[in-house]
Amino acid sequence: MNLDLEDKVVLVTGGSKGIGQGIALAFLEEGAKVGIVGRNLADLKAAQKEGIKIFQGDVTIAEDRERVMEEFVTNFGTIDVLVNNAGGSNGSSVMETSIEQFEEAMHLNFLSAVDLSKKAAAIMSGKSDGGAIINISSIFGRESGGKPTYNASKAAMISFTKSFGDEMIKKGIRVNGVAPGSILHETGNWKKRLEQDPVKINSFVEEHISAGRFGTVEEVANVVVFLASKKASWVVGSTLNVDGGQSYSNF
């Protein structure tokens, strides 16, 4: 399938590691021009290669979002695709988690993406070929399998994807999302947990993931590049589960 992404200009937040890095590499393979955002300069430099430009910034800080978007557009001239991938988990049970931690999670997993999406959409609206925004949430935004802060902020992201998808399709911008299940990669949480307690984590996989294994970053990235392409022209406001059957509640 020709995805026709050659020379498209793509910004991936959290593109220095894990799923985001896999997404950046998948776009690069399609011939796109890619920028990645992260806080840690050493990790960004390690992920830098021909065709991938790095932009250091913290997506939870408004000034950084403004500066990164400006630097990106100055560098590439425009933006065709935004992937809001930066995210993470904090807190524990609701009673043991402070309101400040809930706020932090909302800023990282949700509000940063809202602001960057608005900035990207403002630029994409002025282009004849529109654009695509892809939000990385989680099946836990539907199934409550993670920490309460994480579930709530990812649920907000899924809802936002629907609303903004409906709003922006009128301007030729498709907003969609991917909700990954449990993905194993070198720097990720699952790798740490697997090393700490292999018996527990292997039985979790057997019991909860229909496919009987963790997913890979490439399996998520494949769906993201498809959603960014014109081949997904009738997919609007959707968040696709990419989870080996893990979301068996089937919401």
Long-range Cβ pairs for the range 156-161 (8 Å, 24+):
156/106, 156/109, 156/110, 157/84, 157/109, 157/110, 157/113, 158/239, 160/110, 160/113, 160/114, 160/117, 160/135, 161/135, 161/137, 161/237, 161/238, 161/239
- State in angstroms the smallest separation of the CB of 2 from ligand NAP: 27
CA distance 26 to 32: 9
Q: Which is nearer to ligand NAP, 40 or 129 (by Cβ)?
A: 40
Q: Which is nearer to ligand NAP, 86 or 175 (by Cβ)?
A: 86
- State in angstroms the smallest separation of the CB of 226 from ligand NAP: 17
Q: Which is nearer to ligand NAP, 7 or 40 (by Cβ)?
A: 40
Tokens representing 104 are 């932090």
Count of alpha carbons within 13 angstroms of residue 42, beta-carbon side = 0
Q: Are 77 and 58 in contact (CB under 8 A)?
A: no
> Would you call 248 a catalytic residue per the annotation?
no
Q: Which is nearer to ligand NAP, 30 or 143 (by Cβ)?
A: 143
Footprint on this chain of ligand NAP (rule: CB under 6 A): 13-14, 16-20, 37-40, 43, 58-60, 85-88, 108, 136, 138, 180, 182-183, 187-188, 190
- State in angstroms the smallest separation of the CB of 127 from ligand NAP: 26
DSSP, res 171 = G
- State in angstroms the smallest separation of the CB of 73 from ligand NAP: 18
Considering the candidates 27, 72, 110, 150, report the single residue annotated as catalytic.
Answer: 150
So which residues are the catalytic ones? 150
